[in-house]
Structure 1
Amino acid sequence: MQPDILDFTIKLLSKCIPVKVRKFKKSTLELLRTEEYSDFSSMINYYLTKCLKAYLNQCKDSVITNIITPFNTQYYTLCISEDRDEHLMIGPFLENPITGNLVYEIISKLQLSLDYAAKLKLYYQSVPSIHAAEIFEILYTINEYITGNSTPPKINNLDFSILSKNDSSYEIFTEDMNRTSMYKILDERYIVENKLLSYITKGDINRAQAHFEKYNSNIIEISNSSDSIRDVKNLLLSGNTLFRKASHMGGVPPIYLDELSRKWAKKIEQAPSFEVLDTFPSEMVRSYCLLTKKHSLSQFSSTVKSTLTFINLNLSSNLSVKRVANEIGLSPDHLTRLFKKETGMNIITYINKKRIDTSLELLKTTDLSIAEIGDLIGLNNTSYFYTLFKKETGMSPKQYRNSLSSK
């Protein structure tokens, strides 16, 4: 990954999440001494350095590693390139608060002076709290961008925590063959999601919904590990991001993706209860499938994609072949031939069809007058609007609206 891109990524993340983001190198870390420390700050760095050296001894390209330090703080690292000695680290952060009793247990296990108790308590107050799944999502996306590979990266866990195994705050990290750890769930979740996301990319509603039951069970397993509605909302927001990416891969223009994604983000944040949130995943899958099915332009060349997007976003204005061609940067004749070859219709026919399709939706879902709808779709000549509408549907706009109310 080029240094300027990595630096930009770090700068952007630093403004978006409350957790520190930085890069580091094995060559630099090897120069640091890990035999002693003189004050509280150097003590924290002393133990972190030991953890990172252990990480560097086993890191592999595209592997995400969760490091739990002796202080029970967490870090996530991504090995960008072992050969180029490039590593990205996010942390420290906490998922569960460190109480006074745990502070004294850490002091006892590390054989620290009691003078460190007050400093440790202040330190924990300064460490941000965030769900580990959010950090994983970020590094997963970065790895996908770097490698161009959407296959979920491997997850590794380096656990240096010294808290008692029977302590409740330690349960999430316990490796028990009789129960699935959070990291195993996340790994399995991404494998299952790949198939679901492929259906969204294709706009295949039936297969996506049939597959969803298996996917939804993974959501339940993770959300049941916490009583916090915040955790469930974070999980759904992550799903919203994944579904949006799947639709984008299916050829949906960003303008439509942004609108639906914002809608779901707002609904998720405003949801008052677990019961309301429970209904969202299936609805989200369906809505993104419908979006892909309706707006996918994946089968067209970049020129025709740009043409379709421009037309769709400017229906209310005065559209002509000349104006569209000027916007795209081609001659009207050249664009007309290319458009007809790929879509099977000429530009004006498509514009009129799109306008009538939009008017049908507005007649179904709004109380706007027929004249107002005509203005919104760029047909302010009511007579011409009626002519086109009847040619396409076999009835007038008024007759169509009346037929809806009689059903």
Structure 2
Amino acid sequence: MNESQIISTSMKIHYITNLNVYVLNQDGDLFYENESISIPMFMPGNNAENVKALYEIMTEDGEEEIVYSYINEWGLHYFGRRFRVLEQMYTIIIGPYFERTPNHYRLTIDYQLSNDQSQDLRVVCEKVHVLSGEQANSFASVLGQFRALLDQKLQTKIIVADKNKRSIKDQMNHIDEDAELVNVRYKIEKEFIYAVEQGDKKTALKLMNSSNMSTLFSFSERFPNQPLRRLKNLAIVLNTLLRTAARTSKVSSILIHRISEKYAFEIEQASQLTTLYKLEERMIEEYCDLILSNSLKKYSTLTQKIIEHLLSSYDKPLNKEELASIYHTHPSHLSRKFKQETSYTLSGYHQMLRLNKAKHLLKNENLSIEDISWVVGYEDSSYFARVFKKETGMTPSQFREEET
């Protein structure tokens, strides 16, 4: 038995559990990893620190026939097991997973994360699997059988059905049909992208649900017996088209990246056809809403850059001089041009972004007014409440009660 067999079996564990898999040799060196989810630098456990911590605990303990469970301070769970091959000791570790869905805003507040870090944390929280007790126990059992899986030899007999040969005439007709299909495809693509660029959800959904659209992107010949994979590929193409439409509409690249990454992960994690059908409609609606509310194409390049900067750092204090220095212009010119194009002063736009985020949190998150104040960038919750009431006519508490 050699290391290639260990790697092959580790790959099987990854396919079974869909968790990251790490294998270390007896010197603690990582010689195999299959990492689909990476931990950001600001989180404890980044750079495989969780893996190394669990390895050291297991090595010190010395047990070979048990499965270890490790939980870090942010609630990330891992399983580990030691096994021996030809007098060499190896360690396999799988994870992370969550026991319950974490409140990423609570973590943002507790660890004083910036807006960008908070958004990255949200993505991680959405990607990391939440396992029930039964699922976690099943994966632990699979890991407990790792040594037996190494010794297992499986023979596979491949049976390939004969394909009926088509005549040259049939093949030529098929080529003509393909050419016509390609032309129709590009026509529908253009109509679909245009509808999305206008934020026209009704037309975009109608085009998406048309028989032509589903036929054009069905991938039926590539995956004749894999309906789930076929629909996933359709969703991937759709995500790409929507991302292109948003980019053409000059939506902030930060916002496009966040929504695109979110749906790319949801697509791959979907296990049912109905989930994917609903996901497609949700994608179209969310991208259209994003374009309607965030299109920057009507602004100059300078104003676009300023808006993108404010979108990513609305939770930080606004420094006009520093902002002007970043984009190589004079503060007064920057303020005048921004007001001219957006009808907002810089501070007014900055405040608007903060209050919009606060409204979203008040409607959708079970956070205190003080916590929400901090998340959106106000250190003084009383001042936040005064600003909120001045702009909306309601206190944050009244707004929350009215929306629920």
TM-score, normalising length from structure 2? 0.55
Secondary structure, counterpart of 2:209 in structure 1: helix
The alpha carbon displacement at 1:276 in A equals 2.1
The separation in 2 between residues aligned to 1:175 and 1:400, in whole angstroms, is 66
1:99, distance to aligned residue in structure 2 (A): 4.3
Alpha-carbon distance change, 207 to 99 in structure 1, aligned in 2, over 3 angstroms:
closer
Question: Which residue of the partner structure matches residue 165 of structure 1?
Answer: 166
Answering whether residue 257 of structure 2 is matched by residue 258 of structure 1, we say yes
CA displacement 1:357-401 (0-9 Å, x = unmatched): 111011111112211111121111112211110011101001111
CA distance in 2, matches of 1:202, 1:333: 34
Q: Which amino acid is 2:339 matched to?
A: K
Distance 2:390 2:266 in 1: 39
Alignment correspondent of 1:203: 199
Matches for 1:129-168 after TM superposition, within 5 Å: 164-165=165-166
Is 1:387 matched with 2:386?
yes
Indicate the RMSD between aligned Cα atoms, in angstroms.
2.8
Q: Which runs of 5+ in 2 are unaligned?
A: 1-157
Deviating more after overlay: 370-379 vs 202-211: 202-211
Cα contact 2:302–2:327 (8 A) shared by 1: yes
Deviation readout 1:202-235 (Å, 9 max, x if unpaired):
2222332344333x54214653553312122112
Contact kept? 1:201, 1:289, Cα under 8 Å:
yes
Amino acid at match of 2:315: S
CA distance change for structure 1 residues 227 and 325 in 2, over 3 Å: closer, same or farther? same
- In 2 relative to 1, CA 241–353 (structure 1 residues): closer, same or farther, beyond 3 Å? same
Task: Show the counterpart of 1:332.
Answer: 331
Q: Partner of 2:213 in structure 1? A: 218
Distance 2:171 2:286 in 1: 38
- The answer to whether residue 312 in structure 2 is matched with residue 313 in structure 1 is yes
Q: Does 1:275 find its partner at 2:270?
A: no
Q: Which secondary structure state, in structure 2, belongs to the residue aligned with residue 279 of structure 1? A: helix
CA, structure 1 residues 201+391, in 2 after alignment: closer, same or farther (shift >3 Å)? Answer: same
Question: How many Å apart are 1:239 and its aligned residue?
Answer: 1.5
Sort the Cα spacing of 1:190 and 1:98 in 2 relative to 1 into closer, same or farther, 3 A. farther
Distance of 2:283 and 2:178 partners within structure 1: 24
For the structure 1 residues 100 and 196, does the alpha-carbon distance in structure 2 shift closer, same or farther, using more than 3 Å as the test? closer
Counterparts of 2:261 and 2:178, CA distance in 1: 28
Change (3 A) 1:283 1:183: farther
Consecutive unaligned residues of structure 1, counting only runs of 5 or more, are 1-96, 103-162
CA, structure 1 residues 183+268, in 2 after alignment: closer, same or farther (shift >3 Å)?
Answer: farther
Contact 2:185 2:216 in 1 (8 A): no
Distance between the aligned counterparts of 1:243 and 1:164, measured in 2? Answer: 39
Report the Cα distance in structure 2 between the residues aligned to 1:281 and 1:175, rounded to whole angstroms: 35
Change (3 A) 1:181 1:233: farther
d(CA) in 2 for partners of 1:265, 1:352: 32
1:182/1:222 contact within 8 Å kept: no
Specify whether residues 313 and 245 from structure 1 end up closer, same or farther in structure 2 by C-alpha distance, changes over 3 A only.
same
Change (3 A) 1:190 1:283: farther
CA pair 279-205 structure 1, distance change in 2 beyond 3 A? same
The 5 Å alignment of 1:12-161 reads 99=160
Looking at structure 2, the residues matched to 347 and 222 of structure 1 have their Cα atoms a distance apart, in angstroms, of 45
2:239, 2:260 within 8 Å by CA — same for their partners in 1?
A: yes
Shift of 1:259: 0.9
Structure 1 counterpart of 2:357: 358
- Aligned residue in 2 for 1:116: none
Tell me if structure 1 keeps the 8 A contact 2:196–2:204. yes
**Offset of 1:278 from its aligned partner?**
2.2
- Alignment check: 8 A CA contact 1:174 1:181 kept: no
Q: What's the CA shift for 1:348?
A: 0.8
Q: Does 1:293 align with 2:292?
A: yes
2: CA distance, partners of 1:212 / 1:371: 43
Aligned counterpart, 2:55: none
Whole-angstrom CA distance in 2 between matches of 1:212 and 1:222: 10
* Structure-1-length-normalised TM-score: 0.55
Counterpart residue number, 1:373: 372
Q: Which residue type is aligned with residue 331 of structure 1?
A: H
Following the alignment from structure 1 to structure 2, what is the Cα–Cα distance between the partners of residues 330 and 290?
32
Contact 2:388 2:396 in 1 (8 A): yes
Shift of 1:294: 1.7
Q: Which residue of the partner structure matches residue 321 of structure 2?
A: 322
